[in-house]
Structure 1
């Protein structure tokens, strides 16, 4: 192998290693990126019919309801110590007299036992209290 080929191979390996290291900086599902946020548990009253709630599991699983429709997806903690909701799917039932604000979730901020849910534009759309 010529020194030029060795240099090219070494450069390629270095670039791959750098890319892998940088990709490790983004939060994985359920991964805490170093902040003090622990959103695992139940948010809202899961027993009250027609009430929104979320269950955030260790490992990044998300289930819940907006009060009418079932929600499922994943979550992670982003670099701003916000809960980031990802790949959220929902049923599409029509329910009378249900405020389905939670279906607009994008991120959330957790302070003590209150989760402030933010929409895609970053505006608060509602709050949920930790129940478990």
Structure 2
């Protein structure tokens, strides 16, 4: 019964996708980049000025950002690097974000509980 197994058909638990759901970045600082990954595959956040929204998927520790859209406000003095993100690697409480060329463009941290 394939419907009872996981998507890969591997039930031994050896290769499970990492958990990226939740908030990444400093949401208390409105000029800081942050993302929130919903369990339903939606992602939203800010590059520190513009709102970002789209979808995400994960395979292992590699997060793919899909169908990303952004507002287009002028952002003087704000580094809007996060808007160029198309993928990320999850390493514990660190999310390394990459652009289309595969270059690391920034890092978001998962806030500590109680922060």
Q: TM-score, normalised by structure 1?
A: 0.71
RMSD: 1.6
Question: Larger Cα Rg: Structure 1 or Structure 2?
Answer: 1
Q: Which runs of at least 4 in structure 1 moved beyond 6 Å after TM superposition?
A: none
* Map of 1:90 onto structure 2: 70
Paired residue for 1:113? Answer: 93
- Identify the structure with the greater strand proportion: 2
State the secondary structure of the residue aligned to 2:83.
helix
1:27-68 residue CA offsets vs partner (Å, 9 max, x unmatched) = xxxxxxx53411001000111021000000101110100001
1:57 aligned onto 2:38: yes
Native 8 Å contact 1:75 1:83 kept in 2: yes
**Consecutive unaligned residues in structure 1, runs of 5 or more:** 1-23, 26-33
CA 91–104 in structure 1, closer or farther in 2 if over 3 Å, else same: same
Q: TM-score, normalised by structure 2?
A: 0.81
